[in-house]
Structure formats: C-alpha cells, structure tokens
Amino acid sequence: MEQLYSQYQDHIEFFVVYVQEAHPTDGWQTDSNVEEGVLLRQHQSYEEREEAAQSCTIGLHISLPTLVEEMDNAIDEAYGAAPERLYLIGKDGKVVYHGGAGPHLFDLEELDGAIQKMQAGAKVS
C-alpha cells in the first residue's frame, strides 16, 4: 500500500480508516496476534480506538493519512470494512472498485489496475 500511495498520492487521496478491532482479546483472538503481541480488547470508547489506531500506524510504519471510525461502526457496516478491505472512490463519490475481504483477498495489484483504468477514463469492472 505504501508503494501505491507513493506512486499516486499527487493525484489520488489515500486514507486508512481504522475500524473496530477484528481480533480483540475479549472476542475472537488469533494465535498470530498472541505471538506478535497484538493484544487489544474491543474498543470501549473513541479515545481507545484512537490510541489503537495510532499504535497500529506506528507499529506498521504506515505513512498514509489515517482516519478513525466513530463508535457506531457505520463505515464498517456500510462497506464491510473489517478486517480490512480496499476501496477506490471516484470523483463523483461513487465506488469504482471494492476488493475482497482481507487479508486473503487483499489484492494491491488489482487495486493498482483499477487506479490505472480510472485515470485513463476507462470503466473499472
């Protein structure tokens, strides 16, 4: 994602939207999170979510602008964002591309192709 951001940031606005915790300690915790020390409970307040987002961006060296979803989880519900998903929104505000649920269907090459098509004025399918 950092490579795409670097390549297109002068023409496209990029954002990471931090949503509810996908694998909280008080929910469905994964072995890999335990091994990596990613031990977060489900956020109880917006401040906790902000802190988790900041830890994530620092820990993963994310330079993209990061937005933090409100506690109503409206973005997650509207876009099926958890645990991670890629979206490309056109200038008209309509979804041009939406990727599959990550991490297994998180396809940066596919997103890159959609960006190139959008920039060329072609329909993105």
What's the pLDDT score for residue 88?
A: 95
Tell me, yes or no, whether 94 lies in a domain. Answer: yes
Domain count across the chain: 1
**Tell me: the pLDDT tens digits for 35-79?**
766 667 787 999 999 998 998 899 889 999 999 999 999 998 998
State how far the alpha carbon of 55 is from the alpha carbons of 3, 18, 38, 59, 94, in Å: 21, 11, 10, 6, 31
Residue 14 lies in a domain: yes
pLDDT band at 9 (very low <50, low <70, confident <90, very high): very high
Q: What predicted TM-score, i.e. pTM, was given to this entire model?
A: 0.80
Q: What is the CATH number of the domain that holds 59?
A: 3.40.30.10
- Range in 6-15, 30-39, 45-54, 97-106 with the lowest mean pLDDT: 30-39
pLDDT given for residue 65 in this prediction = 96
3-class SS of residue 65: coil
CA 21 to CA 44: how far, in whole Å?
11
pLDDT of the residue at 28? 72
Residue 65 lies in a domain: yes
Position 125 in a domain: no
Q: Which domain holds residue 16?
A: 2-120
